A and B are shown apart, each in its own frame.
Chain A
């Protein structure tokens, strides 16, 4: 057993193993029992929180003295994620009677837009966030708490997930909860009635698109009113045309945006743009997804959250997907995009022990089982999560993510947020408006990239 970091742990270690039992929960009971025996519970609570210099090891021991209230900032303001989080928290509180969690739900967009002020003000102990550059950026600015000790002994997360949760300094700052792949989605019933087959290459896709047009369908549903959904198409094309490694280094600002490789991406995109639903800039992704749902469009390049626009049950079962087709046979299709959502801890939480305990729980199969059941468009990241209740779509997502060789996050999670939102959104939108002027477009992106990345 590692050196106890709190008085509660120390007291717990005094209880002989025979009385302590073997399970972690029993150990916690032991701690509480020992505490009440000495009649200093409030003192224990005080010690358990605010212990910033905790150097303890195993996750269970690090948080065994947790009591009091943990505040949780959530951007899940829509009804479904809100209810899902509430049920996760309910089960957490049931298992940890000493801890209560106060959920502070903030409107999704407001949360995203105010994240800087939020984290610099008085953030909640734990908050919802995303992996990738977006996570590393806040960790590097000292706005996120180190949760490496929670990660220690976590056996249900793959190394890839651990890497995705690691900041620039090699410490972990993020606890994955769920993820979802990006792919090309379609309705099985429509495809089988028309006799369509999954396209393996870009040429197949073009042939299929032409056929769909003949059948009176928009081949690819498309909506980019919000600015970000089209980034997904760029990512897919870039990974297919220029490989995953190039994509990562392009996103890191290390490549020339005005070079031939980026031009090739835009030019290929232009070739297949006529297959996309027109007037994309006036349509939200939800509206585009509804055209897929109504069988007016043949397919849709989007994240698995597209399923949210399909009613649960038969309609979601009718939804299927395939990976974005191959463009270059030397590169293949083994790189996919699968953003990870999860939780982080504030830099100086009011209740550190409680926060870590909650984070540890979020990373457990128990918590993730509840989340994925409430929202079947996402899958659990924990390897020991219960997959027996998964929908067909979720099962396929699991296989899809597992078999991928490279997983990217998404343009606005993989590159600097200021570059993604102030340069790439207008740039991609102007490409969609006038797809012919690629040379000037990439030149403009490169100039702005230099200005942003070098300053």
Chain B
């Protein structure tokens, strides 16, 4: 514990020079020490209990076979069997990984820039801007499950809006060549509003004098945005990056509402759920899938941490 406290610095108040040099935790009063101890211990305990314990537990369970009934001692150690099963004889796994990556790519290359575009347009305070702002932001307030139901009314083959209006007979949610993209449109619709709001906040925070200076120098609108405003918003960009990655990796509820993540809508998260939740309870197998998800997430966590660390330097 003592090693974690040097960050506490004595206030350099006037006339405090006569005070003895800071001697670490020993200098604190007993009450302060208890407070510091609790402040360190409680969050640590929470992180260990709610993050590390389940994470390590899942990884351990992934080497076992257990139906979730009775206590964990009934889990049978099977080594790497679950992992070999996942990659060799479990047909939905490969599509799920692909779909997760497509999801990430679309959110990143399409939904995020679109959200940014909307923010820039709305930032120009056009007439009725608030109405557009509200309209775009509304889907973010709704849960993805509800978003799923709303789009169901649009996509349904026999009774949906698109097919009724255009007279087409496309099975948007059932046909494997369309349903992932249909779901992505619905997910992007929601994601865009979120990104828009983040960028709107960012744009409001940009010092107006920078824009004025650019204008004086004769920079075009484009150049002003890409060379001045965008770089200035670096912290927002990082937040958006993180939000996008998190949103794509945990993509789940929308496809679950559509068809429980089957038939062209497989995602790793839905496979985990299918195996662990419900009567099926293949806890070990589902944990192996979850471990794969953890590994994929870790790649992005490492990238993110590297960016943030570089920022701090």
Residues of A with Cβ closer than 8 Å to B? 112-116, 120, 134, 137, 141, 143, 225-227, 279-283, 287, 291, 417-418, 420-422, 425-427, 429-430, 433, 444, 447-448, 451-452, 455
Query: Do A283 and B174 have beta carbons less than 8 Å apart?
Result: yes
Query: Do A447 and B89 have beta carbons less than 8 Å apart?
Result: yes
Residue from A115, A430, A451 within 8 A of B85 (CB atoms):
A451
Does B173 reach chain A (CB closer than 8 Å)? yes
Residue from A115, A116, A422 within 8 A of B274 (CB atoms):
A422
Residues from chain A with a CB closer than 8 A to the CB of B172 are 282
Query: Do A282 and B157 have beta carbons less than 8 Å apart?
Result: yes
Give the total of B residues in contact with A, Cβ under 8 Å.
38
Residue from A114, A283, A426 within 8 A of B92 (CB atoms):
A426
Binds A, one of B2-10, B29-37, B121-129, B275-283: B275-283
Query: Do A417 and B174 have beta carbons less than 8 Å apart?
Result: no
Does B259 reach chain A (CB closer than 8 Å)? yes
Contact with A along B75-104 (1 / 0, CB 8 A): 010100100010011111000000000000
How many inter-chain residue pairs (CB < 8 Å) link A and B? Answer: 104
Nearest CB on A from B193, distance (A): 27
Query: Do B174 and A281 have beta carbons less than 8 Å apart?
Result: yes
Binds A, one of B62-70, B111-119, B216-224, B233-241: B62-70
**Additional A-B contact list (15), CB under 8 Å, known A422-B282, A430-B91:** A116-B68, A116-B69, A141-B69, A225-B174, A281-B175, A282-B259, A283-B157, A283-B171, A417-B278, A421-B274, A425-B262, A433-B176, A447-B88, A448-B85, A448-B89
Query: Do B90 and A448 have beta carbons less than 8 Å apart?
Result: yes
Residues from chain B with a CB closer than 8 A to the CB of A281 are 171, 174-176, 259, 263
Query: Do A451 and B174 have beta carbons less than 8 Å apart?
Result: no
Residues from chain A with a CB closer than 8 A to the CB of B68 are 116
Return 10 A-B CB contacts under 8 Å, by A number. Answer: A279-B157, A282-B156, A282-B157, A417-B280, A417-B281, A426-B263, A444-B89, A444-B91, A451-B89, A455-B76
Residues from chain A with a CB closer than 8 A to the CB of B179 are 282
Nearest CB on B from A158, distance (A): 27
Query: Do A113 and B174 have beta carbons less than 8 Å apart?
Result: no
Residues from chain A with a CB closer than 8 A to the CB of B81 are 451, 455
Query: Do A116 and B281 have beta carbons less than 8 Å apart?
Result: yes
Residues from chain B with a CB closer than 8 A to the CB of A426 are 91-92, 262-263
Nearest CB on A from B145, distance (A): 12
Instruction: Report the bound CA distance from A425 to B59 in whole Å.
Output: 27
Instruction: Report the bound CA distance from A112 to B260 in whole Å.
Output: 14
Across the two chains, which residue of chain A brings its CB closest to B280? A418
Across the two chains, which residue of chain B brings its CB closest to A427? B91
Nearest CB on A from B77, distance (A): 11
Residues from chain B with a CB closer than 8 A to the CB of A418 are 67, 275, 279-282
Instruction: Report the bound CA distance from A444 to B91 in whole Å.
Output: 8
Instruction: Report the bound CA distance from A114 to B279 in whole Å.
Output: 7
Q: A116-B279, A418-B281 are in contact. Are A429 and B262 (CB under 8 A)?
A: yes
Residues from chain A with a CB closer than 8 A to the CB of B67 are 116, 141, 418
Residues from 151 to 194 in B contacting A, C-beta threshold 8 Å: 156-159, 171-176, 179
Query: Do B278 and A143 have beta carbons less than 8 Å apart?
Result: no
